[in-house]
Amino acid sequence: MRVRVTTTALGITAALLTLPACTTNTAGTKPDTAPSARAGKRADAAQRATPLTSAALETRLLDQSDLGSGYLRKPERPARHDDVTVIGCPALSELGDDAATGGTLAFPRKAKADFTYGGSSSEIAEELYSDSANKLSDGIGRIFDAMTGCPTYQVVAGGTPIDMASQKLPAPHSLGDEQWSQLLTFTAGGRSTVVKQTAIRDGSLLLIVSVSPTLVDRQLDKALTKATATS
């Protein structure tokens, strides 16, 4: 889960499932679900539970045409491996450097994209991960719990101190199977950046959108809809 001081990063609408058809109830008993409908429902459930490949996730990321005018995709930056120390938040420190700095989550199937808006410093970043529902839920849940459990702490990355403040936010419960949301404030060199981050798990897929608070809600539904599309 990337969150950088100079960048912002994560919605998705739930995938539509086939509605079961019912037989005509002529004997006064409860209607039964048609076998073909039950089979379709099982197939949909199995599809949602099956992890996607990284290549498949790439095709489900938002692109410039999805976001609308004013958005430009940023080239991916080379990974950095600065020494990281967390001060004032033992729970987050125990999770390791990637969690402390918002590094990419340790799931093998993943895809990500970053965009700038209107030539300004406003950015939106989307990340997709795929694994079993239990692994996704446990991984993202532990990080959000650790970060929101420490209202203030400090991260020292590559010798640069970054003051952090976190606040748990209400999550959009109408989307996906599980949801998490938080507001993060990064302060370094006298400059502060505020990021709203929302994570949604839908079956075997995890979406994270991180962005300035004024932009995130406009694109959340678009991201989840495209990420969970079955065709």
pLDDT in tens, 75-99: 876 666 567 888 999 888 887 655 5
Report the pLDDT value the prediction gives residue 97, as an integer from 0 to 100.
Answer: 56
* Phi, psi dihedrals of residue 120, rounded to the nearest 5°: -100, -170
- CATH homologous superfamily for 35-227? PknH-like extracellular domain (3.40.1000.70)
For residues 93-115, give the mean pLDDT.
75
Strands laid side by side in the 178-188 sheet: 71-73, 109-117, 123-130, 205-211, 191-202, 178-188, 160-168, 152-157, 84-87
Residue 127 has pLDDT above 50, yes or no: yes
How far is 30 from 48, CA to CA, in rounded Å?
A: 29
Percent of the chain residues topping a pLDDT of 90 = 42
Residue type for 125, please? A
Least confident of 5-14, 60-69, 159-168: 5-14
Half-sphere exposure (Cβ direction) of 149: Cα atoms closer than 13 Å:
12
Residue 119 has pLDDT above 80, yes or no: no
For residues 172-200, give the mean pLDDT.
92
